[in-house]
Structure 1
Amino acid sequence: MRAASGGDPAGACGPNSGTRMGSERMEMRKRQMSAAPETLGSPPAQPAVGSRGSNACCFCWCCCCSCSCLTVRNQEDQRPNGVSHELRTEDLPTCEESPTPTLEEVNAWAQSFDKLMITPAGRNAFREFLRTEFSEENMLFWMACEELKKEANKGIIEEKARIIYEDYISILSPKEVSLDSRVREVINRNMLEPSQHIFDDAQLQIYTLMHRDSYPRFMNSALYKDLLRSLSEKPIEA
């Protein structure tokens, strides 16, 4: 009797079991297909405003970036340096005022470096030659030291000494002159209380360098020879 009246408890093996399972699978497939377009078509989640990390702008390389770190950098770049503008505008002129040299003066330049450097016309001609050799900073430094020696006001001496140091002594300056370590050490110590003679040793060293290195080339340069020729051919005024 149990065998005759009994069947599958859940109807899993009944004749309609395959139809029910097929319907469930079709329903699940429809649900998956209807959900897929929403997932693919939805835009990517956008980060909330203000949720960017504090260092995110450091990885931005576009020129239109207006992040705060670039604003700070631009403000720092626009800050004026510590050197007073008034003293900067009083820098040495491109050319010293001097009358046209005579033939005798130009001939005297060949006799000694001292005779060349003692006249403004000689310094101008030599400075023009140094410019062609990209070593004009040597003459500029020497002249700046000469100007410093004329000062008597302590405040001006300190300010000009600092400018000379930044322009010609500092290793960060593009116009740095060539000095040995001993001279640099003395200058660094004396910068605490600079005087008008703080750069005397350095000035002498640069003077000697110009004398031994650049002066012989100047005497053989086309610049000097052309000047000498032009004065030689100039008619003597009555």
Structure 2
Amino acid sequence: MRTADGDELAGPSPPASPVDSGIPMGPKRAEMRRQPMSAALDAPDSAGVRGAHNACCFCWCCCCSCSCLTIRSQEEQRHRMVSNELRRDNLPTCEESPSLTLEEVGAWAQSFDQLMFTPAGRNAFREFLRTEFSEENMLFWMACEELKKEANKNVIKEKAKIIYENYISILSPKEVSLDSRVREVINRNMVEPSQHIFDDAQLQIYTLMHRDSYPRFMSSALYKDLLQSLSEKSVET
């Protein structure tokens, strides 16, 4: 509307809401406003509920108490126990051997085969390799010898896996030195390993010990002291 002078008059203002104006609402009006808000707050989050019920391997909480994780943990623990038992059963230890004689120890100097042929020779040579931090070569050779005696396919597979993890894998601290060709053959055959899967690798390590370690063993204080000790005993008797 305009006045006689041409000034525009403001129209009527819309009525202020009870909330905006600070005027308290009636009980029925207040109840009607509370109901939608309460329904929104009380309504269950269907997606959250479904996520909680369906949470299997990715728990929605931090308690990690779902049954799937419990079962998986039990399976992994059982697998580790079986692997540890196999490792304990097949861990090479010093072989039992009769008392050493001067003739036997003297024969070790004739050839590497004579040294490796007897348990006493292998024990003495293994002790020397330990001083050179190359005992894994003898351990691998001995493990391969044990594998050749197995006939059960399941046992062969388990033992082959342990040998691979201990001496063939590049991640193992006891990895033996093998050429790439032998490694490739082993990797292909690990799908269905036989008791002869490591024959080529065993021969390489045998040759390495013969060429590098055996001459040093023959001139080592360990061998000379052993030979001298047996010589003195033979004189006394």
Q: Following TM superposition, by how much is the alpha carbon of 1:236 offset from its aligned partner in structure 2, in angstroms? A: 5.5
The answer as to whether partners of 2:92 and 2:139 remain within 8 angstroms in 1 is: no
C-alpha distance in 2, partners of 1:138/1:86? 23
Q: Deviations for 1:31-89, whole angstroms, at most 9, x for unmatched residues?
A: xxxxxxxxxxxxxxxxxxxxxxxxxxxxxxxxxxxxx69xxxxxx9xx65756222111
State the match for 1:232 in structure 2: 231
- Per the alignment, residue 176 of structure 1 pairs with 175
Distance between the aligned counterparts of 2:116 and 2:236, measured in 1? 27
Cα root mean square deviation, aligned: 2.4
Alignment deviations for residues 141-173 of structure 1 (CA, whole Å, 9 cap, x no partner): 000000000000000000000000000000000
Counterpart of 1:140 in 2: which secondary structure?
helix
Task: State how 1:12-23 maps to structure 2 within 5 Å.
Answer: none
- Separation in 1, partners of 2:93, 2:153: 27
> Which AA in structure 2 matches 1:100?
S
Structure 1 outlier segments of 4+, above 3 Å? 79-83, 235-238
Provide, for residues 170-225 of structure 1, a one-character-per-residue CA deviation record: whole Å limited to 9, x for no partner. 00000000000000000000000000000000000000000000000000000000
Matches within 5 A, 1:144-223: 144-223=143-222
- AA aligned to 2:175 is E
Report the 3-state secondary structure (helix = DSSP H, G, I; strand = E; otherwise coil) of the residue aligned with 1:97: coil
The one-letter code of the counterpart of 1:94 is: T
**Count of paired positions:** 168
Distance in 1 (alpha carbons) for counterparts of 2:157 and 2:236: 49
Partner of 2:136: 137
When residues 170 and 157 of structure 1 are mapped into structure 2, their CA distance, relative to the original with a 3 A threshold, is: same
Query: Match of 2:90, SS?
Result: coil
> Larger radius of gyration, structure 1 or 2?
1
Percent identity reads: 84
Alignment partners' CA distance in 2, 1:214 and 1:128: 12
Structure 2 CA distance for aligned equivalents of residues 173 and 136 of structure 1? 14
Shift of 1:121: 0.2
Deviation per CA, 1:74-132, whole angstroms, max 9, x where unpaired?
xx9xx657562221111234311111211001110000000000000000000000000
Please give the TM-score of this superposition, normalised by the length of structure 2: 0.66
- Name the TM-score, length of structure 1 as normaliser: 0.65
Q: C-alpha offsets along residues 13-46 of structure 1, whole Å, 9 cap, x if unaligned?
A: xxxxxxxxxxxxxxxxxxxxxxxxxxxxxxxxxx
Amino acid at match of 1:227: L
For the residues of structure 2 that align with 1:112 and 1:143, how far apart are their CA atoms? Answer: 19
* Deviation of the 1:237 alpha carbon: 7.7
More helix by share: 2
* 1:235 positional shift: 3.8
